[in-house]
Copies of this chain bind each other. A is one copy, B any other.
Amino acid sequence: MTLDAEPMTAPASRADCEALDRADPLAPLRDRFEIADGLIYLDGNSLGAMPKDASARAHDVVTREWGRDLIKSWNSAGWFDLPVRLGDKLAPLIGADAGEVIVCDSTSQNLFKVLSAAVAMRAERSELILEGSNFPTNNYIAEGVAAATGGRVSVRLCEKDEIAGAISDKTVAVAITHVHYKTGHIHDMAAISARAHEAGALAIWDLCHSAGAMPVDLNACNADFAVGCTYKYLNGGPGSPAFLFAAARHQGQTLQPVTGWWGHAAPFDFEPGYRPQADIRQFLIGTQPILSMALVETGLDIHLAADIGAIRAKSMALTDLFIRLVEERCAGHGFALASPREAAARGSQVSFAHADGYPIMRALIAAGVIGDFRAPDTVRFGFTPLYVRYVDIWDAVDRLALIMDGDIWRQEEYHARDAVT
């Protein structure tokens, strides 16, 4: 697929949006996802939509691989190899080489492993630097890793403009989420990694909100470790296993502390003592949830049929359009852009602050536009270029404008605090 690098004329009508969709090189891929008629799904940054192939794949894993072939599927269906095989498939999407990525466990668990490894690799240092306003599990996990050092290491929380300045010869690692979960701000992976390395620290990246949504080049940035989930832009299914990247140079040089048998050099020799794998598999622990794991592949296969440059170009165009239309059509209704205005600084999502964000989002969901609300006052919209169309942007803002102009969000039913996740 080719990417038209010409700046598009800003669409001024629904017909213009339809024209953009017709010209979109990614448009055919939308058919590979299950999207209900009339639904505008702008929450793929929380849970990606279902690839149509997922249903048949699940059926096959359950009925043939498990039901019929039973125990022999560990070999014949390649269950044992899934973490590495899927990692190798995912690697090109994040600028990693084959053998540097595995799919396993959850993002939180994988972060625990790499932060623990980092703390061991920089045994004379005392600070882990994270972003204070990040999705909190990262900071909670870092707290746990620091606590396990018995006081040697502490967690230093910075906001985005303070990170580079905070890095010093005390820094164990900088562990930042590449795209901020709430604002969509993109951190400069190359600059922060370089600054960390200059100070002798490690650079660890959480790619939850960037993998599959934009080009990521871990090795070009000389990143040390990375983690991320597969259920957002990668469409792996609810809670599908996460991924973990360890640069080839660190493999066999460090040990993560949860030393289970899948990380052993010879897991089937049943040796009495632990002997780590010298490759990426040392970051495995125990038996993986095969069914959830297998479905990761259906999402990856769609990504491998797409051009990540085309994804990024469309992502920027969709988010630009959404911001412009909301600001034009909902002017005076109190929305304040909470994401970077410049597309190059923004991931594939747009947030607006609004004091009544909660009932507004509920009313919008009732109108068939799914976004989400993040306390205290943020309405957040994610744009997955594989299945979100230009015309969806037009229609979503149309419905939002109706809700605002008609004061529909003021209806009592949208204020109960129980439905938006």
Q: Using known A-B contacts A106-B286, A270-B375, A285-B109, determine if residue A259 contacts B71 with beta carbons closer than 8 Å.
A: no
- Please tell me the size bucket of the interface on A: 35 or more
Q: Using known A-B contacts A58-B291, A65-B238, A148-B257, determine if residue A72 contacts B421 with beta carbons closer than 8 Å.
A: yes
Q: A410 contacts the other chain (Cβ, under 8 Å)?
A: no
Q: A240 contacts the other chain (Cβ, under 8 Å)?
A: yes
CB contacts (< 8 Å) of A63 on chain B: these are 34, 50, 55
Which residue of B54, B148, B274, B295 is within 8 Å of A148 (Cβ)? B148
CA distance A274 to B141 in the complex (A): 8
Interface-facing stretch out of A73-81, A216-224, A311-319, A335-343 = A73-81
- By the criterion CB–CB under 8 Å, are A140 and B375 in contact? no
CA distance A190 to B397 in the complex (A): 65
Interface-facing stretch out of A85-93, A94-102, A131-139, A171-179 = A131-139
Q: A108 contacts the other chain (Cβ, under 8 Å)?
A: yes
CA distance A150 to B257 in the complex (A): 12
Which residue of B49, B106, B238, B419 is within 8 Å of A73 (Cβ)? B238
- By the criterion CB–CB under 8 Å, are A264 and B34 in contact? no
CB distance from A50 to the nearest CB of B (A): 4
CA distance A240 to B58 in the complex (A): 14
- By the criterion CB–CB under 8 Å, are B70 and A41 in contact? yes
Which residue on B lies nearest to A75, using beta carbons?
Answer: B421
- By the criterion CB–CB under 8 Å, are B289 and A293 in contact? yes
Q: A67 contacts the other chain (Cβ, under 8 Å)?
A: yes
CB contacts (< 8 Å) of A290 on chain B: these are 237-239, 292
CA distance A73 to B34 in the complex (A): 16
CA distance A135 to B377 in the complex (A): 51
Q: A191 contacts the other chain (Cβ, under 8 Å)?
A: no
- By the criterion CB–CB under 8 Å, are B75 and A269 in contact? no
CB contacts (< 8 Å) of A268 on chain B: these are 375, 421
- By the criterion CB–CB under 8 Å, are A285 and B43 in contact? no
Q: Mark A27-50, 1 if CB is under 8 A from B, else 0.
A: 000000010100001010011011
Q: A62 contacts the other chain (Cβ, under 8 Å)?
A: yes
Q: A22 contacts the other chain (Cβ, under 8 Å)?
A: no
- By the criterion CB–CB under 8 Å, are B140 and A274 in contact? yes
- By the criterion CB–CB under 8 Å, are B238 and A66 in contact? yes
CA distance A143 to B264 in the complex (A): 12
Given A137-B286, A240-B291, 14 more pairs with CB closer than 8 A: A43-B71, A47-B71, A47-B74, A71-B372, A75-B421, A105-B106, A109-B286, A112-B258, A112-B260, A136-B261, A139-B274, A144-B274, A147-B259, A240-B289
A residues with a Cβ closer than 8 A to B are 34, 36, 41, 43, 46-47, 49-50, 54-55, 58-59, 61-63, 65-68, 70-75, 79, 105-109, 112, 132, 135-137, 139-141, 143-145, 147-148, 150, 157, 229, 231, 237-242, 257-262, 264, 268-274, 285-293, 295, 365, 370, 372, 374-375, 418-419, 421
